[in-house]
Structure 1
Amino acid sequence: MDDFIKSEEFLEFCHKTFDNMPVTIDFLDKDGRMLYINNAFADFLQIPREDMVGKIVTDINATSKFLENLKKGKADIAICHQFPNGKKAIVHRIPILNNKGEVVGGFGMIVFGEIAEVKKLVEKFDVINRELSLYKNYVNKFNMAKYYVSDIIGVSDKIEKCKDQVKKFSKVDLNVLVSGESGVGKELFVHAIHNASERKNNPFITINCSAIPENLIESELFGYEKGAFTGAKKGGNIGKFELANNGSIFLDEIGEMPLYMQAKLLRVIQEKEIVRVGGDRNIPIDVRVFSATNRNLKNMVKEGKFRDDLYYRLNVLSLEIPPLRERKDDIPLLTERFLRDFYKKSGIFRSFSDKAMQNFINYEWPGNIRELKNIIGKICVNTEEKLINEKDLPDYIYKSNYNEKYKIEDIGLGEYLNSLERDILKDMLVKYNNNKSLISRKLKIPRISLYRKLEKYNLTVNTEDIS
């Protein structure tokens, strides 16, 4: 090896390979004598090549540490060095060893020609890092939980119990399954748990399992490499689990997930790593998994539609949200909150009369809180008056209250029928703008009979006077 470095064959190879390279390179023998130096290095030192070849390196550069590297057989990597011409640079000094571990020569090169270049590069990287941090923070704003425990509105016993569970679940790092009817606000509770936990400053990613086509759900969850399938992005794509790393992921409508994906999800939860579609590299993740469903997963397990092992992985902690009909004490508070939100967005102020609110409380709300919010918005838009009365409510809510308001066993059949008839007449007067001819036709009674009934119940002609 020693002879080869000094051979004409090696020198010829160096001239052909390195002479015109823009990278600075030199070779020394084991005694530190310059065997070869390329044009770029000679230009940097501002010394002709012929004046350096054959000389000991310290005769060329008195401050060189290369002899020490050769003596010790240890390399210096990316060391700052000042040359005789005053230039400072980052250099490598690497001893060349034979098969026996003996030093037979040395290889040197300049990594950065001047420290100023290094400073510029560092500054450039700093700028890039700052920009990446800004972009990351910007992206995280769209991937953060929005709601807190304080956003859970209600004072009923059942909702207070749910709030207590939210606080307990936020103190541990276990998976949570949230169940409840459609529209009860399951996502709100998941947000609240995340925002009260130690992961609150990390990503919160939501994915609706029922809204993604079956052939795309795997790539959405786990990402894909370039060329993984037709239409894939050129550089591949990161999946939801990677986006949620160190944070939480919320799998809404988990009962709609296909069986084959359930097996893949189970592996991810167990192994805490994902493999992108079309990839072969295991990517470690640290994610807390929240899931929600309005379906009975236990029954689905019995029917073979949901994996039992996945069910128990997801259902470490369980939270059941009660339907609105079981927490009617909260309806006035929820209504007030939605009216306030509507006012903030539109500048339109509305409030509920006591009778209108009682109608709301008596209604069963099959669509739960989602239905309540949507109906309040609809009423606020369609009503001209600031005070919302019974006449402003949708017919199906108003009429559904007849049987609730009057208990036949308490007031008797006669009084019950009279009360029911009075309410029907009031409703018709409002609906048909006191047009008694039209009302009598709709009710299929003579007009004179209608007048007698109106007189009986003291119902006046003017709508605003109807009590």
Structure 2
Amino acid sequence: MTKNLELNNYLVSTMQKIFDPIPVPLILLDRNTQIIMINDIFANYLGYEKSYIIGKKVQDVDKYSRFPYVFQTKKSEIAWKHKFENGHTGIVHRIPILDENGEVDYGFGMVLFQDMEQFRDIIEKNKLLETEIKHYRNRLRELSGAKYSWENIISRSIIMNEIKSMGRKASMTSSNVLILGESGTGKELFAHSIHNDSRRHLDPFVKVNCAAIPEELLESELFGYVDGAFTGAKKGGKIGKFQLANKGSIFLDEIGDMPLNMQSKLLRVLQEREIERIGSNKTQNIDIRVIAATNKRLEELVEEGKFREDLYYRLNVMSIEIPPLRKRIDDIESLSKLLLKKISKQLGKYVNEISHEAMDYLKSHDWPGNVRELENILERAVNLTDNNRILTRHLSNYITKTKKEITIGPVKSIKEIIEKAERKAIIEALTYTKGNKLKASNLLKISRSNLYDKIERYNISV
């Protein structure tokens, strides 16, 4: 033990001799986040004597240090902006060093830039390059914005695996895709994944929220305009989203909110594969794939005269309906783990466990807000917990007050019995009418739109 201690002291002393002359702040921690080496420049930067620092835990010297989080995640943080307890702000690296078993043995840190002025000087010297990079990065984000793939979509449940399989098949074609589902179910993730898995994945993916753009601006956003097209038009004109998405995919979110006059213009684009800018009399050919999404029932809007029937059929070539979270309970545990990783990274607070009782509450909730609501609930819980585990008391009251009774044994719930009876009645009615939905709805004394909903809900093949 004495020899090992002497060897350890010798190694630390040798490292100090090596690192002290280096004009870059450096630090070395042991597995318990105790500081075993720091060079002079870093000690001076922190405002302490080196003898005071050695042997202390890193958060005793800098309470804002993220090293404890880095040790738990076992993942490096490279070029992070960090504000030290003494008020300095620098750009730092934090690197966990793992042993042969994959456990943290040491932690190595360095301050890349000791203050933001130093960092800004470097940026200023490369201003032209930075400007060009920023410009092309923004253009790339705008033109090729698909950042999710099938791996980002959790699917432990049978129903979700089937929906993903259908999505993969849709990605292999050039047909238009209509994605249906309640708000917060992940329609945009499917749109990204379909594009990324298609032959167009190297070309642009452009997103448009039809509900977020005022009606009077939507046409210019989609199709662009020429110089002098109208008062206030940008000099030189503007390229529309369809032209930006040429050769790639355009994602029209909330398509059910598109005004009727724009629906007719969109229909023409889908039919003729050409666009015309506002103020121009020239058409431009485009090669584009449309992926549309909505949380509304388009067939009902068609019946009400709020959505063009011909456009509905143009869009509804490949239809994918994403089930709400309450119909994919088997995914909640895996989804929660994935979301906890995301939230922990955002908040810098390592939480990776949910108690069995808390998970039971999560699984029994109806989730009207779907995955988006689940993420909000977990973020709140992470903020309230004092360790790495979420307990029932960390969940919102409305979650814990609405826990459903769990069915025990072979007894089925009333809801299950009713759904089974409805499914059987619909199948019998459709068989009797040889698939005629209007006649079947009359026999069942329900509206045709209600019949369509139930056919989809119960996954009945017609």
Do the structures match in fold with TM over 0.5? yes
In 1, Cα distance between the equivalents of 2:286 and 2:246?
A: 5
Q: How do 1:72-87 and structure 2 match up within 5 A?
A: none
User: How big is each residue's C-alpha offset from its partner over 1:351-406, in whole Å with a ceiling of 9 and x where there is no partner?
Assistant: 210100110001110000010111111111122232211111111000101x4258
User: How big is each residue's C-alpha offset from its partner over 1:280-337, in whole Å with a ceiling of 9 and x where there is no partner?
Assistant: 1101111100000000000111111100010011111100000000000000000000
Report the secondary structure of 1:182's partner residue: coil
Q: How do 1:187-198 and structure 2 match up within 5 A?
A: 187-198=188-199
Q: How do 1:47-446 and structure 2 match up within 5 A?
A: 139-144=139-144, 145-350=146-351, 351-401=353-403, 403-405=404-406
| CA distance 1:405–1:272, shift in 2 (3 Å) | same
Deviation at residue 342 of structure 1 after TM alignment: 1.5
Runs of 4+ in 1 over 6 A off after TM superposition: 131-134
Deviation at residue 237 of structure 1 after TM alignment: 0.4
| Matched-pair contact (CA < 8 Å) for 1:175–1:288 | yes
Among all aligned residue pairs of Structure 1 and Structure 2, give the percentage whose two residues are the same amino acid.
51
Q: Can you give the 5+ residue segments of structure 2 that lack an aligned partner in the other structure?
A: 1-130, 412-462
Report the secondary structure of 1:360's partner residue: helix
| CA distance 1:273–1:323, shift in 2 (3 Å) | same
Report the secondary structure of 1:142's partner residue: helix
User: How big is each residue's C-alpha offset from its partner over 1:37-64, in whole Å with a ceiling of 9 and x where there is no partner?
Assistant: xxxxxxxxxxxxxxxxxxxxxxxxxxxx
Matched to 2:306, the amino acid is K
In 2, Cα distance between the equivalents of 1:406 and 1:264?
A: 53
User: How big is each residue's C-alpha offset from its partner over 1:233-254, in whole Å with a ceiling of 9 and x where there is no partner?
Assistant: 0111000000000000000000
| CA distance 1:174–1:406, shift in 2 (3 Å) | closer
Deviation at residue 142 of structure 1 after TM alignment: 3.4
In 2, Cα distance between the equivalents of 1:304 and 1:348?
A: 51
In 2, Cα distance between the equivalents of 1:299 and 1:138?
A: 39
| Matched-pair contact (CA < 8 Å) for 2:380–2:395 | no
Matched to 1:302, the amino acid is E
Deviation at residue 137 of structure 1 after TM alignment: 6.6
| Matched-pair contact (CA < 8 Å) for 1:175–1:290 | yes
Q: Can you give the 5+ residue segments of structure 1 that lack an aligned partner in the other structure?
A: 1-130, 411-467
| Matched-pair contact (CA < 8 Å) for 2:206–2:245 | yes
| Matched-pair contact (CA < 8 Å) for 1:353–1:387 | yes
| Matched-pair contact (CA < 8 Å) for 1:149–1:166 | no
User: How big is each residue's C-alpha offset from its partner over 1:419-453, in whole Å with a ceiling of 9 and x where there is no partner?
Assistant: xxxxxxxxxxxxxxxxxxxxxxxxxxxxxxxxxxx
Aligned to 1:32: none
Report the secondary structure of 2:239's partner residue: coil
Instruction: Find the structure with the greater CA-based Rg.
Output: 1
Deviation at residue 138 of structure 1 after TM alignment: 5.3
Deviation at residue 170 of structure 1 after TM alignment: 1.2
Matched to 2:201, the amino acid is K
In 2, Cα distance between the equivalents of 1:339 and 1:175?
A: 34
Matched to 1:394, the amino acid is S
In 2, Cα distance between the equivalents of 1:313 and 1:405?
A: 44
| Matched-pair contact (CA < 8 Å) for 2:254–2:295 | yes
Question: TM-score, normalization: structure 2?
Answer: 0.58
Report the secondary structure of 2:296's partner residue: coil
Deviation at residue 134 of structure 1 after TM alignment: 9.8
In 2, Cα distance between the equivalents of 1:320 and 1:400?
A: 27
In 1, Cα distance between the equivalents of 2:370 and 2:181?
A: 10
Report the secondary structure of 1:177's partner residue: strand
My pick for the range that moved more, 197-206 or 150-159, is 150-159
| Matched-pair contact (CA < 8 Å) for 2:226–2:236 | yes
Deviation at residue 171 of structure 1 after TM alignment: 1.0
Deviation at residue 344 of structure 1 after TM alignment: 2.1
Matched to 1:261, the amino acid is M
| CA distance 1:175–1:389, shift in 2 (3 Å) | same
In 1, Cα distance between the equivalents of 2:133 and 2:241?
A: 20
Root-mean-square deviation (CA, aligned residues, Å) is: 2.1
Report the secondary structure of 1:216's partner residue: helix
| Matched-pair contact (CA < 8 Å) for 1:162–1:321 | yes
Matched to 1:140, the amino acid is L
Deviation at residue 141 of structure 1 after TM alignment: 3.3
Matched to 1:358, the amino acid is D
How many pairs align? 279
Report the secondary structure of 2:405's partner residue: helix
In 2, Cα distance between the equivalents of 1:247 and 1:328?
A: 35
Deviation at residue 135 of structure 1 after TM alignment: 5.6
| CA distance 1:172–1:132, shift in 2 (3 Å) | farther
Matched to 2:371, the amino acid is I
In 1, Cα distance between the equivalents of 2:134 and 2:372?
A: 36
User: How big is each residue's C-alpha offset from its partner over 1:254-298, in whole Å with a ceiling of 9 and x where there is no partner?
Assistant: 000000110000001111110001111101111100000000000
Matched to 1:360, the amino acid is L
In 2, Cα distance between the equivalents of 1:406 and 1:155?
A: 22
User: How big is each residue's C-alpha offset from its partner over 1:51-93, in whole Å with a ceiling of 9 and x where there is no partner?
Assistant: xxxxxxxxxxxxxxxxxxxxxxxxxxxxxxxxxxxxxxxxxxx
In 2, Cα distance between the equivalents of 1:269 and 1:383?
A: 52
Deviation at residue 227 of structure 1 after TM alignment: 1.4
